[in-house]
Chains A and B, each alone.
Chain A
Amino acid sequence: MTWQLFQLLVTAAGLTVFISAVSIMIALVLGTIVSVVTLSPKPAFALAGRTYISFFRGVPLLVQLLLIYNLLPVMGIDLPGIVAAIIGLSLCTAAFQAENLRGAFASLPRGLVEAAEMAGFSAAQILRRVRVPIAFRLALPALANEAIFTLRASSLVSVVGVVELTRTAQDLASSTFLPLQLFAAAGLLYLLLSWTIAALGHVMERRMRWGRV
């Protein structure tokens, strides 16, 4: 295994980072919306949220990616591979993040919300200033966990024509006949990236600790 091969893997890891990071961000926003909608007192909203979660959590990511990439063009919506990859990853991850947040919303201390009501906060203010920030703190370990899952799941997006880290290792393995070294190096890069996400999660946990405002 040469330095040049390793550099090719690092370059490909850049694409993996880009796709994963964008998808993790979109999924956090979308997941928050979905979980708030699911907890809505209006049955139609709650049903819509639950349907979203059960679909995107229930259909394997690989199948979702193939559907987005191969079915939408038939309807005339032609998405480049990388867009299809990001959409697939974020829609799927958002369903899991929504569930993580739903758990956190459910375990919010009732007293906090009541106190905010007493202080004259509107429902929207309570959501934005009290429920969402605290739910995020409670769910942080689970959110970071799911973000690592997204990173690893990004190894599937080569099925929509995105040549990311895993696919690059496969391609190079087939022309250099060094599968062991290349896959070991790719594994190491994934490990470094997931450590980075875990470390970011810890930093955020420390900064958002209870009692610190």
Chain B
Amino acid sequence: MKRRLFCTLTGATAVAGAMSGFSRAARAQDALTQMKANGVLRIGTETAFAPFDFIDPSGKHVGFNLDLFAALGKDLGVKVTYTLLPFEGLLPGLEARRFDLVGGPLTITKARMERYRFLPPVSEGTVALLKRRGDSSITKPADIAGKTVGAGKASAQLAQLRAFTETLPGKTSIREYVGNNEAYADLAAGRIAAVGNSFPNVNYVATQRPQVFEVVTPPFGKKTYFGYLGRKDADSAPLLDVLQAALLKLRADGRLAGLQKTWIGQSIETPEAVTAPEV
């Protein structure tokens, strides 16, 4: 009995020692040194988020993010690699150091800023409504009063839509969807009157299927921005500083605006940094 206990104890100590040894080795280099040594910028992103990141009908991974990170990689002289995960896997993957930056992009919110560091915003993320083409009962956002509308579950946009409908007269019901595509499908089928999502996303859907959908202008709700984010720890700071400077360069020389025009349909005014998000 004693011998067995001894074996267990030494075994456990050895495993624990090996683990801490591994993790020390893994963290010996900060993220910037690692990127320079390997010549690789590691990005984690989600591929069901057109026009930012998606798989086109020929099976190619394309979008605003791809072009933007390619430009960043060229400026920094590194290759860009992607880890493709479902949205809910992105932040855990970032914390597990599987990659150093989350694409997406994500709405810059107070809660996310507390835990992560955002790079300068690359687009506006203010919520707009998508309706069926030619639906004359909705000409401005407030016209959804009393109707049923949809939005993606747990999204920053859903929270905005809910706050907005509470200011409207009558009872406006909101249906929550696992993905935005299911919401668009229900809109096309006439089950709901409109879908609330960020302007770049609904605008892209409307340009892809102009016979089916139309954007209700102007966007409503609080002004929000989309940005990429990284870890807040000291190991990641030098890399994020470099990426921030490179992104600001793209913004200053007009390349960012060019990408917005290509993928979102218009150039979008974004600040150099969001310090106090409204949501």
Contacts and interface: CB of A to CB of B under 8 A. Distances in A.
Interface stretch (B22-30, B103-111, B227-235): B22-30
B169 interface: no
A188 to B, nearest CB: 19
Contacts of B208: 177
A74 interface: yes
B23 A66 contact: no
Given A161-B84, A173-B181, A69 B26 contact: no
Interface in A128-186: 158-161, 163, 167-168, 170-177, 179
Interface in A1-31: 2, 4-5, 8, 11
Interface residues of A, number: 33
A76 interface: yes
Interface in A83-125: none
B179 A159 contact: no
B95 interface: yes
A175 B19 contact: no
Contact of B57 (A71, A76, A163, A176): A176
A113 B260 CA distance: 75
B50 A174 contact: yes
15 contacts: A5-B57, A71-B96, A74-B23, A76-B23, A77-B22, A159-B85, A159-B88, A161-B83, A171-B54, A172-B55, A174-B47, A174-B48, A175-B54, A175-B55, A177-B184
Interface in B25-60: 25-26, 47-50, 54-59
> Which 5 A-B residue pairings sit nearest by Cβ, starting from the closest?
A76-B22, A171-B55, A70-B96, A174-B48, A76-B26
A70 B185 CA distance: 33
A70 to B, nearest CB: 4
A16 to B, nearest CB: 16
Nearest to B212: A177
A80 to B, nearest CB: 10
Contacts of A167: 86
Contacts of B49: 174
Contacts of A176: 57
A75 B50 contact: no
Nearest to B204: A175
A166 to B, nearest CB: 11
Given A74-B96, A179-B185, A172 B23 contact: no
Given A78-B26, A161-B85, A73 B98 contact: yes
Given A69-B96, A76-B23, A163-B84, 20 more contacts: A4-B59, A8-B59, A70-B92, A70-B93, A71-B96, A73-B96, A75-B19, A75-B22, A76-B21, A161-B83, A161-B85, A161-B89, A168-B55, A172-B57, A174-B47, A174-B181, A175-B50, A176-B57, A177-B181, A179-B185
A81 interface: yes
